[in-house]
């Protein structure tokens, strides 16, 4: 847990907080009923860190240390914003307080909680920009998820009504994407726009060609040291480096299940399938028996390499592999200091990449279907 300082801030100036690597976020939110809200950040390895913030009469005030610039979300436990379906819920972004933290930031939230978090950040250019964007897209995102909840709860049962609801969801989602891309074009020097482009690439909300076009319009001089922009640069480099016919980027990592350093280059001479997956990803896990089947089918001709993207320190990944010994092919844990998800510009899970014996990429498949297995059968027929 991060160390919290819930004390008056009158004695601290933003410059002092910047020197100490601290940020502050506060707000008075109508309808915030809970006494505690949770905040999720990441440590230097990319593992999730959970902390809590006290709330009194809708008011919260939180400060903590941070090394660079990071997008952070508060999750209020108000039942009104929980998009529940059966035993689960839809993790809607419009149900969170989102802001950008950095050393010296003093972020202020204002607004209310209805059936979504109708409250937005301000206090500096990055948060002012993010707040202005979210104020437009949050209501649309909320409309979309509310329709999804109705379908999920069988509130809508008529087939024609369900079809219309799905069409409306698609229309709303496309409108949100269009607003986001317009925002990026209109804010070429904004840290919020740099974060947004990286997030859209990660979620496959923008085509590769459009992502490159948006990237080229960004103000490199003003953003060149910005962490969000640097991540976008790496994603763009990953796109360019992992097109069909290009040499597969190096994977050389000590973060392995067998605790022995793994080097992709050592597998030259065989076909290799690199599988980007996570224990949290249902389709990734459900596809593993088929991967095992094909590894056995073409034993000696091909190798499998799993690259797991996990939000914790890897405990869930190790526990999963401990319990599933059939999946003990080469298994690597993605870490921030060796971010192969970024290097390969992976934007959906699972993503499987076929590398030929010369080390060149000959196939890229997103999602769990039979396309990659048909390709492997063609290769080895």
- Give 205-231 pLDDT, tens digit per residue: 999 899 999 999 999 999 999 999 999
Residue-wise pLDDT tens digits, 326-380: 999 999 999 988 899 989 989 889 999 999 999 999 999 998 889 999 999 999 9
Fold for 14-122, please state it: Immunoglobulin-like (2.60.40)
Contact 201, 230 (CB under 8 A): no
Q: Enumerate the H helices of the chain as residue ranges.
A: 14-19, 125-152, 159-186, 191-202, 208-216, 220-223, 227-241, 282-286, 288-297, 315-323, 340-343, 371-380
Fold for 252-380, please state it: Glutaredoxin (3.40.30)
Calculate the alpha carbon distances from 175 to 172, 305, 353 in Å.
Answer: 5, 38, 32
Contact 363, 353 (CB under 8 A): yes
Characterize the bridge pairing of strands 97-101 and 70-75.
antiparallel
- pLDDT band of residue 15 (cuts 50, 70, 90) is low
What is the secondary structure of 280-316 as a DSSP string?
A: T-HHHHHTHHHHHHHHHHTBTTEEEEEEE--SSSSHH
Enumerate helices (H) and strands (E) in the chain, giving the number of each. Answer: 12, 17
Q: Count the Cβ atoms, other than its own, within 10 Å of residue 240.
A: 12
Average of per-residue pLDDT across 133-158? 93
| Confidence (pLDDT) at 329 | 97
- For the record, the structure tokens of 145 come out as 């998820």
| Confidence (pLDDT) at 324 | 96
Domain span(s) for CATH 2.60.40 in the chain: 14-122
Helix, coil or strand: residue 356: coil
- For the record, the structure tokens of 84 come out as 């529940």
Domain span(s) for CATH 3.40.30.10 in the chain: 252-380
Residue-wise pLDDT tens digits, 282-316: 999 999 999 999 999 999 999 999 999 998 889 99
């Amino acid at each position: 847990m991060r160390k919290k300082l819930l004390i008056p801030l009158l004695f601290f100036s933003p410059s002092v907080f910047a020197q100490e690597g601290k940020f502050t976020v506060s707000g008075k939110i109508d309808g915030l009923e809970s006494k505690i809200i949770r905040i999720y950040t990441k440590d230097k390895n990319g593992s999730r860190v959970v902390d809590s913030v006290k709330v009194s009469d809708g008011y919260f005030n939180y400060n903590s240390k941070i090394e660079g610039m990071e997008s952070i979300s508060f999750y209020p436990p108000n039942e009104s914003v929980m998009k529940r379906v059966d035993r689960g819920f839809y993790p809607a972004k419009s149900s969170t307080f989102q802001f950008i933290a950095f050393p010296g930031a003093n972020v202020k939230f204002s607004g209310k909680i209805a059936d979504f978090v109708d409250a937005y950040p301000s206090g500096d250019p990055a948060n002012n920009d993010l707040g202005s964007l979210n104020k437009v897209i949050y209501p649309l995102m909320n409309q979309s998820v509310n329709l999804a909840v109705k379908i999920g709860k069988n509130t809508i049962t008529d087939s024609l009504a369900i079809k219309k609801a799905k069409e409306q969801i698609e229309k709303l989602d496309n409108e949100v994407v269009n607003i986001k891309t317009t925002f990026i074009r209109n804010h070429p020097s904004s840290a919020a726009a740099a974060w947004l482009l990286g997030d859209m690439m990660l979620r496959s909300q923008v085509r590769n060609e459009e992502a490159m076009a948006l990237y080229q319009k960004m103000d490199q001089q003003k953003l060149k040291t910005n962490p969000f922009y640097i991540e976008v640069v790496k994603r763009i480099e990953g796109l360019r480096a992992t097109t069909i016919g290009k040499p597969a980027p190096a994977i050389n990592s000590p973060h392995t299940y067998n605790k022995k350093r793994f080097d992709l280059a050592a597998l030259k001479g065989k076909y290799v399938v690199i599988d980007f997956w996570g224990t949290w990803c249902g389709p990734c896990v459900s596809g593993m028996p088929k991967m095992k089947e094909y590894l056995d089918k073409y034993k000696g001709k091909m190798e499998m390499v799993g690259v797991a993207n996990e939000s914790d320190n890897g405990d869930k990944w190790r526990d999963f592999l401990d319990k599933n010994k059939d999946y003990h092919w080469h298994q690597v844990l993605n870490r921030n200091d060796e971010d192969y998800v970024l290097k390969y510009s992976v934007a959906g899970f699972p993503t499987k990449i076929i590398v030929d014996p010369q080390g060149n990429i000959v196939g890229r498949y997103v999602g769990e279907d039979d396309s990659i297995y048909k390709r492997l059968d063609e290769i080895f027929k």
